[in-house]
Chain A
Amino acid sequence: MLSDYVFIGLFAIVAAIFPFAGFAVSYLVRPKRPDPVKSDVYECGMKPIGEAWVQFKVQYYLYALIFVIFDVMSVFLFPWAVAYHTLGLYALVEMCIFLGILVGGLIYAWRKGALRWV
């Protein structure tokens, strides 16, 4: 019993060391030729403008939330589709109800203007 935990402990230690080891090794072996552009903060290759601590448009979050609808939908659709032949009509009806409720959510978001970018 206790020896099982030794492996977990070892694993935790290795996991903690691993990222530091990676940085340390690359620090030792890489060539160092810094210039102002290279040591700049990387942001899509553009010069960074302003701070990173700004208020994000709330619509990003709305889009993320609506994406979750489809995400969950597909998570449930895959196993259902795989087992479709054995599940039969009952599962088909159930899946239609499930999709119906989710599509209802999407229509709701659309009608409430969540998809409009202002």
Chain B
Amino acid sequence: MTTRTPFLFLPQLILLLTTLVVFGIELVPGDERRRKDWLPAIALTGLGGAAMAIIFLWSRTTTPPAGSILAGMIVVDRFALFFQILAVTTTALVVLLSTDYMRDRTPDQGEFYGLLLIVCLAITLVVAAADLLMVYVGIELLSLTSYVLTGYLREDRKSTEAGIKYFLFGATASAAMLYGMSLFYGATRTTNLAAIATALSEAENSLRGLVIPAAVFLLAGFGFKIAAVPFHQWAPDAYEGAPTPITAFLSVGPKTAGFAVLVRVFLIALPNFYPDWMALLSSISIITMIVSNLVAIFQTNVKRMMAYSSISHAGYILIGIVCWGRGGFGGSFEGISGVLIYLLAYLFTNVGAFAVITAFEEATGSSRIEDYAGLVSRSPALAWAMLVFLFSLAGIPGTGGFIGKLYVFGAAIQARAYTLAVVGIITSVIAAFYYLNLLRYVFFQPPTENPKSITLSATAKITLIVTCVLTLAIGLYAQPFLQLAQASANLW
């Protein structure tokens, strides 16, 4: 089945057009305030259109993929489309979170939503990139817009500091990644991922001394995006200082994009070097799980705690990539589909948790953990929603997080990577400690001073309901989501 090229590009075209409309609306003279209320609605319409286009392409795509566009730069396969759906969903939820949060905090609403749409567009390009050049261009577009969004609250010192830190770390990581790419080009005379694999298998082991360092450099760039230790130092500061909806976005959007690129580049371009990068990735995974969970215990700010939590999840997800195919493809736990189901559950859980944090910050202006004391008496809905999300993050059965962990750890055990599985399970128990500690404040600590009840805005309610329902749905009725992940996990 062939789909004509313009159709393969449809989601990106819709996103681009929406971006232009959102920017254009800023220029129309007239009543500014009323117009600003339209911006989220326009952004959501565009995202909905893009989502429909992606679902249409997903249903029409078979393996091998429907086709590649822009001279092999971009490949439209189910793997890419799955990640594009994740990106569009995340952006839509973040737009919902931002409507109230950003309204009073910045006069430049149009640019905010415009940039958010560009980040989404960048992710849809990155996850479909089949060429190192496209990977680089996509990641740069993604990074530059994320830096601006992180430092969007210009008057706020912390936001500015977060933006600059993110930028400096990101620029360094990009430089390292680009150097790695140049080494690949030098070694194989091509930037196309599949062609690199062919060239490397023809050269057999003669290029080994060049490929291993190049892969390490690439990993620095990708590791920065997924925020894995030791490339994680930017995350706590950026997460704490960024506007809270953007923190929610940073913890999901760029991370999923980073994982998509990581999987595609390493599996397509470097399958022959699997034993080497497997060792590299497993050590990164183990360090990430241990360091992030231990540091998270001592955090007093809930955004910083969530930053370390999101770093630790990068460690768990890496297990899935490490255990790719080692247990054979016939097994019931396959690493890559484990990664996909994990990311799907993580998306709703984490955005949901940040929806609670955003709503709480809107009401009280605080994000310190001790201020969450007695939240259950101030807003039962927020407290119980937080319970669902934190249970899911901790991986307690009945929630989406459990299914994700089950499949990733299952893949590890099937592949006989017992060290990874054991470290993963032990650190999950440690993680449960700080998640439950926050719940202890929410449910069992008496509120400190004048406990006013918190009223939720309509958009906050919608976000909470959607994320809560989907987090539970993945946990309780996982079958359709698993099928979706398994159907999308096929890269060839």
Query: Nearest-CB distance from B274 to chain A (Å)?
Result: 26
Considering the complex, give the chain A residue whose CB is closest to the CB of B19.
Answer: A101
Interface residues of A in 87-105 (CB under 8 A from B): 101, 104
Q: How far is the CA of A82 from the CA of B179 in the complex (A)?
A: 32
Q: Does residue A12 face the partner (Cβ distance < 8 Å to B)?
A: no
Q: Does residue A69 face the partner (Cβ distance < 8 Å to B)?
A: no
| Residue in contact with A101 in the complex, picked from B20, B26, B27, CB distance below 8 Å | B20
User: Do the beta carbons of A104 and B26 come within 8 Å of each other?
Assistant: no
Q: Does residue B273 face the partner (Cβ distance < 8 Å to A)?
A: no
Considering the complex, give the chain B residue whose CB is closest to the CB of A100.
Answer: B20
Q: Does residue B23 face the partner (Cβ distance < 8 Å to A)?
A: yes
Q: How many of B's residues come within 8 Å of A, CB to CB?
A: 5
User: Do the beta carbons of B24 and A112 come within 8 Å of each other?
Assistant: no
Binary contact track A50-69/B, C-beta < 8 Å → 1, others 0: 00000000000000000000
Q: Does residue A111 face the partner (Cβ distance < 8 Å to B)?
A: yes
Q: How far is the CA of A107 from the CA of B26 in the complex (A)?
A: 11
Considering the complex, give the chain B residue whose CB is closest to the CB of A1.
Answer: B206
Query: Nearest-CB distance from A5 to chain B (Å)?
Result: 13
Residues in A with CB closer than 8 Å to B24 are 104
Residues in A with CB closer than 8 Å to B20 are 101, 104
Residues in B with CB closer than 8 Å to A101 are 20
Residues in A with CB closer than 8 Å to B26 are 108, 111-112
Q: How far is the CA of A80 from the CA of B26 in the complex (A)?
A: 32
Q: How far is the CA of A32 from the CA of B26 in the complex (A)?
A: 62
Binary contact track B10-29/A, C-beta < 8 Å → 1, others 0: 00000000001001101100
Query: Nearest-CB distance from B115 to chain A (Å)?
Result: 13
Q: How far is the CA of A104 from the CA of B16 in the complex (A)?
A: 13
Residues in B with CB closer than 8 Å to A104 are 20, 23-24
Interface residues of B in 26-85 (CB under 8 A from A): 26-27
Residues in B with CB closer than 8 Å to A108 are 23, 26-27
Residues in B with CB closer than 8 Å to A112 are 26
Q: How far is the CA of A48 from the CA of B26 in the complex (A)?
A: 43
Query: Nearest-CB distance from B97 to chain A (Å)?
Result: 26
Q: How far is the CA of A111 from the CA of B24 in the complex (A)?
A: 10
Q: How far is the CA of A111 from the CA of B27 in the complex (A)?
A: 7
Q: How far is the CA of A21 from the CA of B377 in the complex (A)?
A: 78
Most buried by B among A107, A108, A112: A108
Query: Nearest-CB distance from A89 to chain B (Å)?
Result: 16
Query: Nearest-CB distance from B27 to chain A (Å)?
Result: 5
Residues in A with CB closer than 8 Å to B27 are 107-108, 111
Q: How far is the CA of A112 from the CA of B114 in the complex (A)?
A: 15
11 contacts between A and B (CB under 8 A): A101-B20, A104-B20, A104-B23, A104-B24, A107-B27, A108-B23, A108-B26, A108-B27, A111-B26, A111-B27, A112-B26
Question: B: which residues have CB within 8 A of A?
Answer: 20, 23-24, 26-27
Given A108-B27, A111-B26, 9 other A-B residues pairs in contact with their CB atoms under 8 A: A101-B20, A104-B20, A104-B23, A104-B24, A107-B27, A108-B23, A108-B26, A111-B27, A112-B26
